[in-house]
Amino acid sequence: MNFTFSGHAKQELINRRIPQELAEGVLLNPRQKFPDSEDTVCYQSLVELGGKSYLLRLFVNETVDPAVVATLYRTSKIKKYWRTA
């Protein structure tokens, strides 16, 4: 699947100091993927930034081609968002 980043998502990459290559890696090989809303799917994976573990979450509109990353963020609250079975 092809992806593009919205203007907002591109700005969030800069604001949150998330390397675009890291976000693209999650898009290509997410550890978890689940519906978030009617048009949005959450892609997430555990990543390491600055020697710390984070959950990188990307919210993607898959109803358009190419799919659009609407927003993204990293969080240290892994247990809060990680899905089990």
Count of the separate structural domains present in the chain? 1
Residue 85, domain member (yes or no): no
For residue 26, being part of any structural domain is answered with yes
Is residue 65's pLDDT more than 90? Answer: yes
Rounded Cα distance, 80 and 11, in Å: 25
Question: Residues 32, 44: contact at Cβ < 8 Å?
Answer: yes
pTM for the full model? 0.94
Establish if 83 belongs to a structural domain. no
> Has residue 72 been placed in a domain?
yes
For residue 63, give its domain range.
3-77
Beta bridge partner(s), residue 35? 41
Residue 21 located in a structural domain: yes
Q: Identify whether 52 is part of a domain.
A: yes
If we measure between CA atoms, which residue out of 18, 29, 10 comes closest to residue 70?
10
Given a cut of 90, whether residue 29 has pLDDT beyond it is: yes
- Domain CATH number, residue 61: 3.10.450
- Asked if residue 27 is part of any domain, the answer here is yes
Q: Maximum distance among all alpha carbons in the chain?
A: 36
Nearest to 48 by CA among 12, 74, 77: 74
**What's the pLDDT tens digit per position in 3-26?**
999 999 999 999 999 999 999 999
